[in-house]
C-alpha cells in the first residue's frame, strides 16, 4: 500500500526544487527482483505511467477541456502516438507517454513538462535494498497566481492518482514474482 514519504536525499529532484516550490512524495514497497536489479528506469517509468487508474482518464479529459481555452498545454499538444518507451533506448529529451525525459540515472528518472503557469518535474526513484521501495515525487515551480490556483484545484486528484498508480505498480510487480513486467 502506498504512503506519503520523504524523497531520499540522493534524488536529483532536490537540485531542481527551490524553497518556495511545492513538492510531495509517495512510495510503495515491492519485492520483484527484475524491478529491483535489472529493469531500467525508463522501463519502470513506462510501467508506472501506463497503470490504469479508474477515473483518471476522465479527469484528464475534463482538465484539458477547462484549460485549453486558457492556452495551457493539453493532450492535444503531444503526439498521440508517443511511444511509451522510445526505441531503441530512451534519451534525455525523448518522451515516455506525454512526459518529457529530463534525466535518466541508474535508480532515478526525472520526467516533466514546462508551461506558462507552472513547470513540473516527477522523480521516479528506486531504492534497491530489500524490501525495495519505489518513490514518486512531484515538484511544481509555479510562475503566477494561476499556477497557485491550478495546483490547489488539482492537488486532491493528483494525490489520489499517484497513490493508486503506485499501488497498481506494486500489484503488477507482485503478480510477476521476480519476472519482468512488460508494458503493452
Domain carrying residue 84 = 3-175
Q: What three-state secondary structure class fits 42? A: helix
Higher-confidence residue: 177 or 60?
A: 177
Is residue 11 domain-resident? yes
* CATH number of the domain encompassing residue 32: 3.30.530
Please indicate, yes or no, if residue 184 is contained in any of the structural domains.
Answer: no
Whole-number pLDDT of residue 81: 45
Q: What is the pLDDT of residue 86?
A: 56
* Mean of pLDDT values over 173-183: 92
Contacts of 160 (CB under 8 A, 6+ apart): 53
Is residue 155 a part of any domain in this protein? yes
Report for 54-68, 144-158, 167-181: range of highest mean pLDDT: 167-181
Grid cell digits, residue 30: 515491492
Q: Is residue 170 part of a domain?
A: yes
Torsion angles phi and psi, residue 124, rounded to 5? -110, 110
How many structural domains does the chain have?
1
Distant-in-sequence, close-in-space partners of 22: CB < 8 Å, separation ≥ 6: 138, 139, 140, 142, 151
67: confidence class by pLDDT, cuts 50, 70, 90: low
Is residue 59 situated within a structural domain?
Answer: yes
Indicate whether 182 belongs to any domain: no
Res. 62: pLDDT tops 70: no
Amino acid at each position: 500500500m502506498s504512503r506519503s514519504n520523504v524523497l531520499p536525499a540522493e534524488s536529483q529532484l532536490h537540485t531542481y526544487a527551490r524553497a518556495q516550490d511545492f513538492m510531495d512524495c509517495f512510495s510503495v514497497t515491492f519485492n520483484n527482483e527484475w524491478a529491483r536489479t535489472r529493469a531500467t528506469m525508463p522501463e519502470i517509468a513506462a510501467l508506472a505511467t501506463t497503470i490504469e487508474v479508474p477515473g483518471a482518464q476522465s479527469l484528464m479529459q475534463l482538465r484539458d477541456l477547462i484549460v485549453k481555452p486558457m492556452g495551457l498545454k493539453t493532450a492535444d499538444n503531444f503526439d498521440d502516438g508517443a511511444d511509451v518507451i522510445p526505441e531503441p533506448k530512451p534519451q534525455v529529451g525523448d518522451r515516455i507517454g506525454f512526459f518529457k525525459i529530463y534525466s535518466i540515472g541508474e535508480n532515478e528518472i526525472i520526467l516533466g513538462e514546462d508551461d506558462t503557469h507552472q513547470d513540473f518535474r516527477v522523480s521516479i526513484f528506486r531504492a534497491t535494498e530489500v524490501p525495495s521501495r519505489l518513490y514518486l515525487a512531484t515538484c511544481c515551480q509555479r510562475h503566477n497566481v494561476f499556477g497557485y490556483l491550478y495546483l490547489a484545484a488539482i492537488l486532491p486528484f493528483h494525490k489520489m492518482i499517484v497513490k493508486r498508480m503506485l499501488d497498481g505498480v506494486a500489484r503488477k510487480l507482485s503478480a510477476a514474482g521476480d519476472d519482468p513486467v512488460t508494458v503493452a
